[in-house]
Amino acid sequence: MAIATQLNARLLERFIYEEGKSIGLICEIESTSTSSLIKNLESLFEIPYVDFEGKQHEQINKIAIVAGCGDKVAFMEEAESKGVQAYITGEVHCHIDNDYGRMKYQKMMEYVPNSSMSLIGVSHSASEYLVMKTQIKDWFSANMDVNVRLLPQHKWWL
């Protein structure tokens, strides 16, 4: 929800349910292009680049947001079936350097040529840090007698 709030997105529906809880959002945003959305995300997350796969669009109005590890093809297929034009997640590619990671990466790369979406990864940790920065810090300050200092990573893509 922190990502949706920062993008001034209007929640249309929740999707992707794990253990009875939604981990994904389908939202409407003001019309933008893939390249403009990427620039906005790089600024918002203070990252030097995004992971990108898929199609470039001149007009994007409907996005999916899956913070953290959203590199599951089934999640992407579900978003695409709902008319999403851009899928924003912490990870588009699995960055784990072992057999499991390579298998997930291969599945993703088999899906990409058939997808109509812009698939945008903003760094797993950066996607979750935004919640700390925009919501959790203020909650701790308001509800606990503690001095909160956020510690951002020096390199979001490790």
pLDDT digits (tens, 9 = 90+) for 127-147: 888 888 888 888 888 899 888
Predicted pLDDT of residue 145: 86
Give the model's confidence band at 156: pLDDT under 50 very low, under 70 low, under 90 confident, else very high: confident
Q: At 158, is the pLDDT very low, low, confident or very high (cuts 50, 70, 90)?
A: low
**What average pLDDT does this structure show over 101-128?**
93
Tens-place pLDDT, residues 19-65: 999 999 999 999 999 999 999 999 999 999 999 999 999 999 999 99
- Three-state secondary-structure class, residue 3: helix
List, for residues 64-112, the tens digit of each pLDDT value: 999 888 889 999 999 999 999 999 999 898 888 899 989 999 999 999 9
Closest to 3 (Cα-Cα) out of 158, 135, 156: 135
Check pLDDT > 80 for residue 155.
no
Contacts of 54 by beta carbon, 8 Å cutoff, 6+ apart: 87, 112, 115, 116, 117, 118, 119
- C-alpha separations of 14 from 92, 94, 128 in Å: 19, 23, 18
Two tokens, residue 75: 């999640």
- Is residue 62 a contact partner of residue 40, using CB atoms and an 8 Å limit? no
For residue 9 the two structure tokens come to: 């997105």
- Both tokens of 133, joined, read 């920065």
Domains of the chain: 2-143 (3.40.1390.30)
pLDDT tier, 11 (very low <50, low <70, confident <90, very high otherwise):
very high
Tell me, letter by letter, the H, E, C secondary structure of 53-122: EECCCCCEEEEEEECCCCCCHHHHHHHHHCCCCEEEECCCCCCCCCHHHHHHHHHHHHHHHHCCCEEEEC
